[in-house]
Structure 1
């Protein structure tokens, strides 16, 4: 992946396909390469994916990594690539970054998909401390022992019934993680500090571009009540609640779910 100067930080990025630009913003602790399984579904777009600060091959400054700073990183990346505006798809923490991108740089965003994310602030429904512990412990093990990391983290990402019925998922995830550039364990703490201070809730009514909210109804990491909170503040948003899906909502029906998202993005 090439490196480009985006504002005051060097970001690692890549593009895939041809067409109108689609900026893909990954979530907590994962490099942009985590988008690779989804890229073939985005036919007709020039997908731009990148490593958030602290992950992959991008710069790893001291923390905290605030959501506002990461939204500015995304904005600066588009500017550095000479892309005036793009459609955006952000998942989890990437969905928080997408919210701030719409609020801080509305001229750069045409329409946005907010996947499995939350609005921040006192009304946000947080995961239980046991689930947060799974995420933090598992994330910190991804570079040195991804098999153990996913053993710890999978119950936070997907419902137990799905994990039991699809035992091939874990080996696929482990194999993918071993091919990704390493992310240092301290990134988890730096990013979590940024998430803790994130609060877009009271400003969401300012968002005017089209928005699609996508969430699994069995998500224990970012509970689905957060989708309702965002919808309540962005009245024009479309909401797509996926039955039986956890935080990694695409996994329950990769073709159908991506097809619905892409159809919305293209219309």
Structure 2
């Protein structure tokens, strides 16, 4: 389902020696694309072509996913952001525009706040500030996602990602449901990293021009988080996509990609 064949990954070395796989395609201004929790760079496969004509796209496999190393040790969104810096350093990219969705948006918050010189324009999609100031999803959503029946849990995740009307005509496979080759321990550590994210205190430090995008019907990461981010980040713009759920960038691609491209200029 990849729009173009994935290039052979190269590896950057993080500060702790962990190797981080990354992929570079296209030409032009650098655009870093950060995927969701427990996902490799394949998260972006359905929409990557929208950005290749104008940007040198950089994707990566978080530690624990894809072709990156998978240490069995605590992960964090702050740590993932430092892995991103290692990738940018390896590629000699001084500054990139950044588009992070879901957990990738959490990682992007730390990147923009802690390394403002490395981020040009910033897009935060279907994400949250986390911590006590973030809006948690309903308990029934978590219960459905942790159902002991894997088929029911997967069906619940698909329903949170896409509308029923869309899945009727797009039966999958879906690139947003997690890296199937991830070890179980890495999947658990990704989940903890995402749920423990709390960047509220540093959001006002973000100086990059910022666009916050969210599906208006997102229950996986409640839509109310979008307004919190837009209010907390100086000068941020907010765009809600009516009818969209968590994977707005794929199902509502015809609206979302032009919106992001226009903002990136």
Q: TM-score, normalised by structure 2?
A: 0.88
Q: Which has the higher helix share?
A: 1
1:144 is matched with which residue? none
Question: What are the superposed Cα offsets for residues 95-142 of structure 1, whole Å, 9 maximum, x if unpaired?
Answer: 00000001121111111100000001211101123323444569x96x
Residue 219 of structure 2 is matched in structure 1 by 220
Aligned to 1:13: 22
8 Å CA contact 1:31–1:183 kept in 2: the answer is: no
Q: Note the residue ranges of structure 1 that are not aligned, 5 or more in a row.
A: 142-146
Question: How many aligned positions are there?
Answer: 254
Q: Does 1:41 align with 2:40?
A: no
1:91-106 equivalences in 2 (<5 Å): 91-106=101-116
* Deviation (angstroms), 1:75: 0.9
- Distance in 1 separating the partners of 2:176 and 2:147: 16
Match in the other structure for 1:85? 95
1:41-60 aligned within 5 A: 41-42=50-51, 43-60=53-70
1:9-158 pair list within 5 angstroms: 9-42=18-51, 43-135=53-145, 150-158=154-162
Change in 2 beyond 3 A, CA 1:58/1:130: farther
| TM-score computed with the length of structure 1 as normaliser | 0.88
Q: CA deviation at 1:256?
A: 2.2
Q: Report if the CA contact (8 A) 1:136-1:188 is conserved.
A: no
| Structure 1, 123-132 or 61-70: larger mean CA deviation | 123-132
- Answer with 234-243 or 4-13: which moved more: 4-13
Structure 1 residues 77 and 181, CA, compared in 2 at 3 Å: closer, same or farther?
farther
CA separation of 1:203 and 1:127: change in aligned 2, threshold 3 A? same
Consecutive unaligned residues of structure 2, counting only runs of 5 or more, are 1-7
- Report the RMSD for the aligned CA atoms in angstroms: 2.2
Residue aligning to 1:201: 200
| Residue number in structure 1 paired with 2:171 | 170
